[in-house]
Structure 1
Amino acid sequence: MRLFTDSFQQLKKASVPLYRTPKSIQETIEILKVAENGIFEVRKGHYSKTYRFQDINYTTTTEGEQLSIIERYCKLLNSLDVEFKITLNNKNKDMQKLRKNVFLKERQDGYDEYRGMYNHIMEAKIQEGKQGIAQERYLTITIERGNFEEAKAQFATIEASLQKAFRELGSPIVPLSGNERMQVLYDYYHLGDEESFDFDIREAKQTGTDFRNDLCNGMLKYYSDYFQDENKVGRALFIKKYPSGLSDGFLNEIASLPVHSVISIDVVPIPKELTTKVLQKKYLGIESDIIRQQRVRNRNNDFSSEISYTKRNEKKEIENIMDDVRDNDQCLFYVAVTMVFLAKTREELDSITDTVMTIGKRNSVTIDKHYLMQREAVNTALPIGVRQVETMRTMLTQSLASLLPFNVQELQDETGVYYGINQVSKNINVGNRKKLMNGNGFIFGVPGSGKSFFSKMAMGAVYLSNGPDCHTDDIIVVDPMNEYFDIAKLYGGTVVNLSSYTDNYMNPLEVDLADLSVLKRRAVIRQKSEFMLGLCEQSTGESLNSRQKTLIDRCVRKVYQEAARKKQIPVMTDFYRTLLEQKEEEAKGLALSMELFTEGSLNIFNHQSNVDVDNRFLVFGIQDLGEELFPIAMLVMLECIQQRIMENWKKGIATWLWIDEFHVLLQSPYSANYLWALWKKVRKRRGICTGITQNLADILRSDSRDTIGTMLANSEFVALLRQSSTDLDTVADALNISEAQLDYVNNAPAGTGLLRFGSVVIPFDETVSKDSKLYQMYNTNPYELAEQAESADGGGSTGYPAED
């Protein structure tokens, strides 16, 4: 039904091109002036500004959660009282640049074969994803003002409410600078040659350069239903007819096609007072038509009170609209959808067009070509801020919201560690934990979920990476089950197997004071004194009083003074004997408590160090520690780790700490408190901690729940593999994960799950072919390992270790 005329026509009227008959390619670009702050004057007195906003998880949420997102999106739409355009831009992605950034580069250090294995896996996954496509989302607002300064002030006012509305949606939005907007347009005009962009507005002003010369193509021809430039052909389409109810997945289905495209939704809000006025006028008009219809019937001796079917429907439709506007906070908009698709050949373009139209038919949407309006349609689709085609129709807020520009989040940092592929988009996941506000994290997964393999993949990637900020990173692993000895051996690392019968010795008092200044000596001795306070407290099994603390501090200072004089490195026996020399009775008690760990059978820390704890890959095996030795060993090990992190920080080296069977360390109050403190302060020292354990729900129900809660709060990285179905509610509450997202960890295949990376939550798949050498190197499945020992595994199936 045609509802609106007169006053409404001016709102949806298309703008006239700057040049009706362009005499050059430059004149096809619909921009008058550009400014460094991103404001473009697109025609006299009309200014536009473009904002980039991020995708959010919509596809991977439940129906209830989707309704919540749509409600917030409706609120956003209603808040915009200016003309705006939402654009989904499937821009070109430089695949060679992607490979250059994420592939591990050769270093001729004996490990290039392993780097090749990683690169082979990533290449295969890249081939499965969207080749050469990177999707970006823009909001372009166009306003009418008297001059540039007035426009600038108005945009500042609009941005404040924009930021709030998009923040509520969970989608960060940032304004594009003038150069960034120019880059977006350049990338479209020069598809495949994006790296050649070299334009700066400030320099152009100083030299008097016309920006259009840098933007425009070398050749451009428009035909009746397509266009062509020197590198591509394209076609502009539009939605001609909508169904009564449009699926919220329709727009995403088209935007997800692996083709280069620009899809824009132009929206003109209709003022509420004008909407109400015209609706009432239309309603009265229908009532008048019904009265006239009844009079005609009466003259024909037809006294039936029945209203004709057509008028009955018209009245019902207008009443529904009036009710929605009045009671359901619905606003009225003029809306037009313009789509531009690009291809290398006409044949490919025709095929894309057929696919798009088929998707439309499947959703009861009629999509047609813009005949004889290709130039105007392209200008309309681009995020410039003009609308030069008249294909608008009226929509209420809820109908407009069905053209939802959201799908699923992506994890695509420029550099970082490979974390499999996104299960929805099939794009590879690359994340740099150093860029997170807090890079600490956890890996959760029940036995058989593949968490050990996942961890080893990350460890290997960090070790083999040789990016500008990663090639000197050190790796430390705390290994309660001795599962990581193999990967340490693989990369030439050091294994320190702590036990009462070990021949691996670590001297906790080891410090070479010879080359230190007086101030640094004092600082080191003070630090060692604090360490010995903790060690003595563990050996006595009770809290120390002030007299005992004074004695310990005195003895530590004496030990190091004597060591400096003799130019020797002290051991625990030196401390023990110094205690015995003291006159106080408390000293004798402390010495007796220390005797087991110095002169007794648990004296593994009373030797000079004979292991290379400075190795880039260091694994502490603690499976064989007895109950008596465990607390002392934990203290010594954690002190060593903290010292290593501090030393690396001073050298500008990052330290990655992985702690397997994390719950084991939480059972000791001392180690739990130590880890809690480490998690809070390590970020400032370039430390990145990762706890690995089975069921998150179990430790959240343990006595350490407050500790783990704090640590989770200080961790922006969480890999959640398969979890017990009975624990899903607890997991959802702890990690703020939606019910639909939990489907990706409930009975999930090995090697798949959810990855929370800062504000991004994505379903990942890091399964690796069983034929891959990398799989065989990192495999922890005891049954498969037994089979491999008997004979070579065959088949070429894809999998993940079933056991941890």
Structure 2
Amino acid sequence: MIPFLKKNKDGKKPPKPTVPHTAQESIPFQRMFEDGTCRVRPGYYTRTIQYQDINYQLAQQEDKTAIFEEWCSFLNFFDSSIHFELSFVNTATDSADFEKSIRIPYQQDGFDDVRAEYSQMLRQQLSKGNNGLTKTKFLTYGIEGDSMAQVKPRLEHIQNDLMNNFHRLGVLAKPLDGTERLRLMHGMLNMDGANKFHFNWKDLVPSGLSVKDAIAPTALAFKNSRTFQVGGIFGAVSFLNITASDLSDQLLKDFLDMDSSQIVTMHIQSVDQNKAIKTIKHTITELDRSKIEEQKKAVRAGYDMDVLPSDLATYGRDAKALLKELQSQNERMFLVTFLVLNTGKTEQELETNVFQAVSIAQKHNCELCRLDFQQEQGLMSSLPLADCQIEIQRGLTTSSTAIFVPFTTQELFDNGKESLYYGLNALSNNLIMVDRKKLKNPNGLILGTPGS
């Protein structure tokens, strides 16, 4: 049988999708500019902002409510012309380098045995937390335009507004330049740490290389439908099927608390308000039509016309409640794609980490489903490029989207020469080491048990 090829309106055959033959071709962007702007595809440009954590989980209830409401306003800033992505990257650091940062050097002054004992205590405390993981958070946004000259002023304007919005939340944030974005993607594509990041803009022309050569892994292997291999790391991408009727702000926190290298990505697309309301009204009309048909059947069958299928009544009630929220409660509609990329040094370790993530999703009445035959698209969608290649979306309102609060607790860890150990973070169990003299307020209060 000869396959039928669909033609475009102009009578020409559509171009065949190109299959990437190299790791560089798999990375879905065309050009990175020095100022941090990335041309992902013709007519689409993105930028990335890195932001720090704030204390949310340990805050009082009224403070949590204030942060949540401010985060809702933050999300409502994005209109339907802005594509944005929230990335949460947990990568393992070299344990030897980390222990070296907390080691107290000997000074041959008769107190080295005390220093050795103190260093041993710090190593024991280090093992209680997950300081071996570096946790970073990013927001990537993109807009469409004909050229770099056209989109640059609007990108700058959006960036300034986002920085102001972060400031109102009390969150420290900074935009990433081109080198920093490349370093970030290099770390995500080379989690085994075998290849170090070496890049200089001046070397591109003489060497004849592209920016992708600086970040691409040695190899990408998609041998089966459910896993992939990047260098010496095995990985698997899953999507979160949000089936819970009531979401908790602990869901995202539980994913990020896993003691393994992983990337959690949320692609969020705002829907035009008028279009969303029109769609819901159309749905309500269709439900009313189905209700009338059921009532006609009831009359013909000779039973009570008020007896309707339970699903029909439930859907109608939910649709009207959603319409009310959009019209009168300052809510918007968002399309969310929630991806989780788990990794492991072996296939067994990978499956263990995936099983843990599945258990977390089930605890919150959701379902974590593996992306069968879409692992490459899932991996590339996890890069901070605001380019989602997975066409699985869930419609959520502003408050439902904001329940994935990206803040947990603020870490205090400074590995300077004058840093002192002050204890463990009550939420993350990470070391608190800081040089008080570098803080905005250097004062301290030491509490202890009398007679101890």
- Tell me the amino acid that sits aligned with residue 24 of structure 1: T
The equivalent residue for 2:114 is: 114
Q: What's the offset of the Cα at 1:443?
A: 1.5
Is 1:289 matched up with 2:290? Answer: yes
Cα pair distance change 1:63/1:276, threshold 3 Å: same
Query: In structure 2, the residue corresponding to 1:443 is in which secondary structure?
Result: coil
Is 1:429 matched up with 2:432? Answer: yes
- Tell me the amino acid that sits aligned with residue 288 of structure 1: R
Q: What's the offset of the Cα at 1:131?
A: 5.3
Cα pair distance change 1:314/1:163, threshold 3 Å: same
Is 1:339 matched up with 2:340? Answer: yes
Q: For 1:628-662, what per-residue CA distance to the aligned partner results, in whole angstroms no more than 9, with x for missing partners?
A: xxxxxxxxxxxxxxxxxxxxxxxxxxxxxxxxxxx
CA contact (8 A) 1:187 1:194 kept: no
Cα pair distance change 1:439/1:314, threshold 3 Å: closer
CA contact (8 A) 2:296 2:305 kept: no
Is 1:365 matched up with 2:339? Answer: no
CA contact (8 A) 1:204 1:211 kept: yes
Is 1:60 matched up with 2:52? Answer: no
Whole-angstrom distance in 2 between the partners of 1:103 and 1:335: 44
Cα pair distance change 1:305/1:113, threshold 3 Å: closer
- Tell me the amino acid that sits aligned with residue 260 of structure 2: V
Q: What's the offset of the Cα at 1:350?
A: 0.9
Whole-angstrom distance in 1 between the partners of 2:102 and 2:108: 18
Query: In structure 1, the residue corresponding to 2:390 is in which secondary structure?
Result: coil
CA contact (8 A) 2:133 2:261 kept: yes
Q: What's the offset of the Cα at 1:396?
A: 0.8
More divergent stretch after superposition (199-208 vs 312-321): 199-208
Cα pair distance change 1:363/1:440, threshold 3 Å: closer
Q: How do 1:706-745 and structure 2 match up within 5 A?
A: none
The equivalent residue for 1:158 is: 158
Q: What's the offset of the Cα at 1:25?
A: 1.5
Cα pair distance change 1:194/1:320, threshold 3 Å: farther
Whole-angstrom distance in 1 between the partners of 2:318 and 2:117: 63
CA contact (8 A) 1:238 1:339 kept: yes
Cα pair distance change 1:108/1:40, threshold 3 Å: same
Q: What's the offset of the Cα at 1:235?
A: 0.8
Q: What's the offset of the Cα at 1:171?
A: 1.2
Whole-angstrom distance in 2 between the partners of 1:441 and 1:418: 15
Q: How do 1:114-193 and structure 2 match up within 5 A?
A: 114-130=114-130, 132-193=132-193
CA contact (8 A) 1:342 1:349 kept: yes
The equivalent residue for 2:85 is: 85
Query: In structure 1, the residue corresponding to 2:91 is in which secondary structure?
Result: strand
Is 1:383 matched up with 2:381? Answer: no
The equivalent residue for 1:35 is: 33
- Tell me the amino acid that sits aligned with residue 441 of structure 1: N
Q: For 1:170-215, what per-residue CA distance to the aligned partner results, in whole angstroms no more than 9, with x for missing partners?
A: 2112111111111111112222427821112344256442111121
More divergent stretch after superposition (316-325 vs 21-30): 21-30
Whole-angstrom distance in 1 between the partners of 2:420 and 2:323: 55
CA contact (8 A) 1:240 1:391 kept: no
Whole-angstrom distance in 2 between the partners of 1:428 and 1:444: 17
CA contact (8 A) 2:267 2:386 kept: no
Cα pair distance change 1:35/1:206, threshold 3 Å: farther
Whole-angstrom distance in 2 between the partners of 1:153 and 1:208: 31
Whole-angstrom distance in 2 between the partners of 1:28 and 1:412: 37
Q: For 1:705-762, what per-residue CA distance to the aligned partner results, in whole angstroms no more than 9, with x for missing partners?
A: xxxxxxxxxxxxxxxxxxxxxxxxxxxxxxxxxxxxxxxxxxxxx5xxxxxxxxxxxx
The equivalent residue for 1:661 is: none
Q: What's the offset of the Cα at 1:359?
A: 1.4
Q: What's the offset of the Cα at 1:33?
A: 0.2
Q: What's the offset of the Cα at 1:277?
A: 1.6
Query: In structure 2, the residue corresponding to 1:442 is in which secondary structure?
Result: coil
Q: What's the offset of the Cα at 1:307?
A: 4.3
Q: How do 1:361-760 and structure 2 match up within 5 A?
A: 361-415=362-416, 416-436=419-439, 438=440, 440-443=442-445, 445=447, 449=448, 750=449
Q: What's the offset of the Cα at 1:151?
A: 2.3
Q: What's the offset of the Cα at 1:439?
A: 5.1
Whole-angstrom distance in 2 between the partners of 1:297 and 1:279: 27
The equivalent residue for 1:214 is: 214
Question: Unpaired runs of 5+ in structure 1?
Answer: 1-17, 450-749, 751-780, 783-800
Q: What's the offset of the Cα at 1:234?
A: 0.7
Whole-angstrom distance in 1 between the partners of 2:207 and 2:17: 25
Whole-angstrom distance in 2 between the partners of 1:137 and 1:149: 29
More divergent stretch after superposition (111-120 vs 269-278): 111-120
The equivalent residue for 1:7 is: none
Whole-angstrom distance in 2 between the partners of 1:439 and 1:316: 54
Cα pair distance change 1:202/1:150, threshold 3 Å: farther
- Tell me the amino acid that sits aligned with residue 427 of structure 2: V
The equivalent residue for 1:635 is: none
Query: In structure 1, the residue corresponding to 2:405 is in which secondary structure?
Result: coil
- Tell me the amino acid that sits aligned with residue 31 of structure 2: K
Q: For 1:469-499, what per-residue CA distance to the aligned partner results, in whole angstroms no more than 9, with x for missing partners?
A: xxxxxxxxxxxxxxxxxxxxxxxxxxxxxxx
Q: What's the offset of the Cα at 1:308?
A: 3.9
- Tell me the amino acid that sits aligned with residue 53 of structure 2: D
Q: How large is the Cα RMSD of the aligned pairs?
A: 2.0
Q: For 1:331-370, what per-residue CA distance to the aligned partner results, in whole angstroms no more than 9, with x for missing partners?
A: 1010011111111001111111111111111111111111
Whole-angstrom distance in 2 between the partners of 1:136 and 1:116: 32
More divergent stretch after superposition (38-47 vs 161-170): 161-170
CA contact (8 A) 2:84 2:142 kept: yes
CA contact (8 A) 1:35 1:201 kept: no
Whole-angstrom distance in 1 between the partners of 2:205 and 2:64: 47
- Tell me the amino acid that sits aligned with residue 342 of structure 1: T
Between structure 1 and structure 2, the one with the greater Rg is 1
Whole-angstrom distance in 1 between the partners of 2:351 and 2:215: 27
CA contact (8 A) 1:128 1:426 kept: yes
Q: For 1:381-427, what per-residue CA distance to the aligned partner results, in whole angstroms no more than 9, with x for missing partners?
A: 12122111111110111111122211111012232222222121111
Q: Which has the higher contact order (CA 8 A, sep 6+)?
A: 2
Query: In structure 1, the residue corresponding to 2:445 is in which secondary structure?
Result: strand
Question: Unpaired runs of 5+ in structure 2?
Answer: 1-15
Cα pair distance change 1:440/1:300, threshold 3 Å: closer
- Tell me the amino acid that sits aligned with residue 360 of structure 2: I
Query: In structure 1, the residue corresponding to 2:40 is in which secondary structure?
Result: strand
Whole-angstrom distance in 2 between the partners of 1:194 and 1:49: 27
Is 1:265 matched up with 2:263? Answer: no
Q: What's the offset of the Cα at 1:298?
A: 3.6
CA contact (8 A) 2:192 2:233 kept: no
Whole-angstrom distance in 2 between the partners of 1:353 and 1:423: 27
CA contact (8 A) 2:295 2:306 kept: yes
Whole-angstrom distance in 1 between the partners of 2:194 and 2:172: 25
The equivalent residue for 2:239 is: 238
- Tell me the amino acid that sits aligned with residue 21 of structure 2: K
Whole-angstrom distance in 1 between the partners of 2:203 and 2:211: 10
Q: For 1:523-573, what per-residue CA distance to the aligned partner results, in whole angstroms no more than 9, with x for missing partners?
A: xxxxxxxxxxxxxxxxxxxxxxxxxxxxxxxxxxxxxxxxxxxxxxxxxxx
Please state which structure has a larger fraction of its residues in helix: 1
Query: In structure 2, the residue corresponding to 1:98 is in which secondary structure?
Result: helix
Cα pair distance change 1:430/1:303, threshold 3 Å: closer
- Tell me the amino acid that sits aligned with residue 432 of structure 2: N
Query: In structure 1, the residue corresponding to 2:149 is in which secondary structure?
Result: helix
Whole-angstrom distance in 2 between the partners of 1:277 and 1:385: 27
Whole-angstrom distance in 2 between the partners of 1:78 and 1:166: 13
Query: In structure 2, the residue corresponding to 1:339 is in which secondary structure?
Result: strand
Percent same amino acid among aligned pairs? 23
Q: What's the offset of the Cα at 1:306?
A: 4.6
The 4+ residue runs of structure 1 with deviation greater than 6 A are: none
- Tell me the amino acid that sits aligned with residue 125 of structure 1: Q
Whole-angstrom distance in 2 between the partners of 1:352 and 1:120: 30
Whole-angstrom distance in 2 between the partners of 1:219 and 1:194: 12
Q: For 1:423-452, what per-residue CA distance to the aligned partner results, in whole angstroms no more than 9, with x for missing partners?
A: 21111112133433x45313253xxx2xxx
The equivalent residue for 1:279 is: 280
Q: What's the offset of the Cα at 1:102?
A: 2.9
